[in-house]
Amino acid sequence: MNESLIKYLAGLLDADGSLSFTFKEDINRPGNCFIGLRLSLAAANTVDKLGFVPSLPKLTGMGTLTIYKEQFITWFVSKRADLEMLLPRLIKHMVIKAKHWQWLLDTWRLLRTDNNTITLNKRDELKEASKTSRRINVGPIKPKNHPTWAWTAGYLDGDGSYSYRNHHGKWHIRVAACAHINDASVLEFLQNAYGGTIADHNKDGSNKLWTVNLGPKNKTFALNFLPKIYKHSRLKQEKILKIIHHHQQRLSVLSVSDNVSDSLNT
């Protein structure tokens, strides 16, 4: 796994990934259970048209796949050696879940024994502690000045959207990302890097929406931003490419128009 893939995965997992404790009762020791840790990432076939998630076991050399109703594919990683190798690399680049995932990893390491067993009471305590950690442990391990292109592409592939439509002869083109208010710092991170606006996404303000216009007035930014995102994107390349082609086509038409106007004036 090269660093670009790791950074992309960090962004995608920041958006759509899950890391959680797993518990399995020890039938030989009533009142005790085995504790594990499992990373998961799911995608629908309608979104993952090129089969990125199904390719992850081969790309990473880790994990297994499950298919639900032939529509949703989930990648799971739960082997101790794999998690110890993968998680530190991912956490280093994560912007939202890094602190929480580090807490999970550290807690799992601390509680691990030769047979990985804990009491059922301890299991219940960990379930509640994990919920609390996800709520309060938000942000990167170390402050980050600027998002990498690979992380940005991954995050937008998960929680982002690219709008490209013509309404009554007027083009509406934008990139947006939505986050719960507890995770809204990620939107400020994007805004500081790429501009745009942040507003309430629903009436109670529990979700925030970051938006950047990619229309004709912002074509210079769009043609600088989108090709770099496209290079790393695995799930939303098609829409990104349509917007790039839209601007390139307009520039080509304008160029031809300018040449015709120059020739008429001479």
Q: What is the pTM of this model?
A: 0.91
φ and ψ of 257, to 5 deg: -60, -40
Amino acid at 92: K
Residue with tokens 């600088």, as numbered in its chain: 224
Mean pLDDT over residues 211-235, rounded? 95
Second CATH level (architecture) for the domain 149-265: Roll (3.10)
Does residue 253 register a pLDDT over 70? Answer: no
163: phi then psi, degrees, rounded to nearest 5: -100, 135
Question: Which is nearest to 154 in space by CA: 5, 1, 3?
Answer: 5
Name the residue with tokens 């840790």: 37
The answer to whether 143 and 150 are in contact (CB under 8 A) is no
List, for residues 209-220, the tens digit of each pLDDT value. 999 999 988 999
Q: Looking at the chain, which residues constitute the CATH 3.10.28.10 domain(s)?
A: 3-136, 149-265
Domain 3-136 CATH assignment equals 3.10.28.10: yes
Q: Which amino acid is at 255?
A: S
Query: What is residue 261's predicted lDDT score, i.e. its pLDDT?
Result: 34
| Paired strand residues for 187 | none
pLDDT tens readout for residues 1-39: 899 999 999 999 999 999 999 999 998 888 999 999 999
Smallest CA-to-CA distance from 153 within 1, 15, 2 is with 15
For residues 183 and 129, give the distance between their C-alpha atoms in angstroms, rounded to a whole number.
18
**What does the CA dihedral 214, 13, 51, 150 come to, rounded to 10 degrees?**
50
pLDDT band at 252 (very low <50, low <70, confident <90, very high): low
CA distances from 208 to 163, 191, 236 (A): 17, 12, 21
Question: Which DSSP state fits 190?
Answer: H
Beta-bridge partners for 74 = 42, 66
The one-character DSSP state at 192 is H
How far apart (Å, rounded) are the C-alpha atoms in residues 54 and 75? 7
Q: How confident is the model at residue 114 (pLDDT cuts 50, 70, 90)?
A: low
